[in-house]
Amino acid sequence: MPIFAILIIFALAFYVFYKIKYFRTKRPAEKKWLASKSSIALGVFVFLFGVNQLFINQSTTTYIVSAIFIILGAINILGGRKAYKHYLPIAIQEAESLNKK
């Protein structure tokens, strides 16, 4: 399925983008916020990779590996989303306090 390949490439591109921003920033709360965004992008990548494998090969081994990838991707997405919600207000406060100085 070409749509999954395109989405996988976009997810990987977002992961790399957020990791680069993570290493370039100096603010601690913003670092954690960007790490959570990159975790979500990585989770989407792994999840979509697992779903894509279901359409490429259809064997018992593929089903087991795909299920593992889908579960790990979902866990990464949910954990990243939780961290994103936690660190977003902290990162906003940090940015506002640095802009006032």
Q: Which residue has the tokens 């959570």?
A: 36
Number of residues that make up the chain = 101
Greatest alpha-carbon pair distance for the chain in Å reads 61
Both tokens of 48, joined, read 């979509």
- 79-97 pLDDT, tens digit per residue, is 999 999 999 999 999 988 8
Tens of pLDDT, residues 11-35? 999 999 999 999 999 999 999 999 9
Tell me, yes or no, if the pTM score tops 0.75.
yes
Domain boundaries, the chain: 2-100
DSSP H helices in the chain = 2-24, 28-56, 60-100
Q: How far is CA 90 from CA 31, 55, 61, 71, in A?
A: 11, 41, 44, 29
**In this model, does residue 101 exceed pLDDT 80?**
no
